[in-house]
């Protein structure tokens, strides 16, 4: 019976620590993260490249609230960004090795949020689906690290 409890305790701790975790910068918080930025640590994510303009993106399972609407959080880097190749290579390596990654991005609660028709490397942006429902909160990747 003791071994079963030990196994269950281990499985519970793995389940607790396997979800995405994150936070945002503030006075005296999260040293190493730029002011007005947030971070997410992801153990599971999806990647893609937008065919029209080559934008590389990372989809998460995280929902965010903004202006009383719920958006799916999507990180991106534009093809014109100087860090495009590095971020794409790190994300693909993290995915291939099943490692957790840390993404640093602007805090949409403290910075200007624009419309997703004009994505830039500074601000988060929102868009809607064809029915007008909230779809994605696009946030540019400021930095990406492989953690394991």
Residue 128 belongs to a domain? yes
Residue 6 belongs to a domain? no
CATH number of the domain to which 85 belongs: 2.40.50.140
Domains held by the chain: number: 1
Task: Map tokens 């599971």 to a residue.
Answer: 44
What angle (nearest 5°) sits at the alpha carbon of residue 51, between those of residues 147 and 106? 45
Residue 7 belongs to a domain? no
Residue 98 belongs to a domain? yes
- Report the predicted TM-score, pTM, of the whole model to 2 decimal places: 0.80
Residue 63 belongs to a domain? yes
- Cβ contact 105:38 at 8 Å: yes
Residue 39 belongs to a domain? yes
Residue 53 belongs to a domain? yes
Residue 130 belongs to a domain? yes
Query: Which H or E run includes 139?
Result: strand 134-140
What tokens does 45 get?
Answer: 């994510």
Structural domain boundaries enclosing 68 = 21-146
pLDDT in tens, the chain (148 residues): 444 343 333 333 333 333 457 777 655 555 667 778 999 999 999 999 999 999 999 999 999 999 999 999 999 999 999 999 999 999 999 999 999 999 999 999 888 888 888 788 889 999 999 999 999 999 999 999 999 7
């Amino acid at each position: 019976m003791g071994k079963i409890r030990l196994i269950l305790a281990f499985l519970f701790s793995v389940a607790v620590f396997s979800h995405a975790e994150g936070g945002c910068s503030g006075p005296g918080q999260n040293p190493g993260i730029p002011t007005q930025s947030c971070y997410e640590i992801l153990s599971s994510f999806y990647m893609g490249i937008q065919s029209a303009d080559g934008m590389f993106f990372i989809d998460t399972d995280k929902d965010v609230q903004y202006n009383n609407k719920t958006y799916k959080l999507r990180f991106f880097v534009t093809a014109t960004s100087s860090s495009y190749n590095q971020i794409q290579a790190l994300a693909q390596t993290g995915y291939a090795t099943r490692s957790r990654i840390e993404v640093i991005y602007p805090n949409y609660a403290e910075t200007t949020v624009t419309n997703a028709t004009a994505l830039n490397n500074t601000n988060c942006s929102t868009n809607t689906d064809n029915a007008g429902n909230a779809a994605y909160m696009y946030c540019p990747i400021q930095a990406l690290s492989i953690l394991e």
